Structure 1
């Protein structure tokens, strides 16, 4: 090895090198702080979203509590005549004339091994020809629930009922099963096709 080469190798950092290192340290520090702030602020934002309550309409059928988002168009009818449909599947109770439109009325009681009330209440979802009615056991109540109250969807005793449940909430010592109001009619129709017809064995 050449001793002259060793002698000419700089042992002390130049001013330019020190400046570059200092600038690099400052840049890395700013990046760390920015990432930390984003993580904290992002977490707070997520908490705020989770804590923000949403509005629902809740009702009971048998031993279960159901609900739909209040943003869906919903109506309630009491003591409304329902015309039975011959040879219809058991979940299709019949048709009801609502403002000149024949609305299909369904029931989930048979899936829950529960009896239908003598004076059933019709909970209607949707407008016009796209509306469907569901027999419920109690007048709907207003609910205000937040995302943090959601739980894993519990397995229902009926596989057909499982198809209707979108999400599962827990509040006020009760479990609330969220139904998808927008596709509820299509879901009920699909389930009806899987049910045996009334009077069949």
Structure 2
């Protein structure tokens, strides 16, 4: 990510890890919603929420990043687009939304405690570092696990 264009980033907490994602992937930020569990779903899938008449699969960002699970009814819900699909990502809290010059995002080979395949870059703001996650790499594996459940429900636009 080494050019001078500015990118918008949403920064959020997952356990003790400051994470970020490109704001172009995040559709909205919500308070936790009532979740309906899906029998047989992977541990990382919390269940389904009804978002204005559309069922949305919610995944636990803490479990995805090997952190302690988020307590139920706590944190925030990031509605995220992954390809043509939309998922909810449960996180501890959302801290900020800002623009940062792309050349201030450093490519990162390895980061202790985080799978290198999930990291796009490392950013810094106000003296604090955050990990910019690759949302495709983080969430795409779950799409195949939830695609059957999603097909059985009607969608609205």
Structure 1 segment 1-201 matched on structure 2, within 5 A? 49-50=3-4, 52-110=5-63, 111-117=65-71, 118-126=73-81, 130-153=85-108, 154-159=110-115, 162-181=116-135, 185-189=139-143
Larger Rg: 1 or 2?
A: 1
Could you list the per-position Cα deviations for residues 94-134 of structure 1 after superposition, in whole angstroms to 9, with x for gaps in the alignment? 1111122211111132343324144231111129x821011
Aligned residues: 141
| Counterparts of 2:20 and 2:141, CA distance in 1 | 15
Greater fraction helix: 1
Unaligned runs of 5+ residues in structure 2 are 147-157
TM-score (norm 2): 0.72
| Bigger RCO (CA 8 Å, 6+ sep) | 2
Q: Secondary structure at the match of 1:57?
A: strand
Could you list the per-position Cα deviations for residues 154-198 of structure 1 after superposition, in whole angstroms to 9, with x for gaps in the alignment? 334243xx3322222233222222234567542444799xxxxxx
C-alpha RMSD of the superposition: 2.9
TM-score (norm 1): 0.58
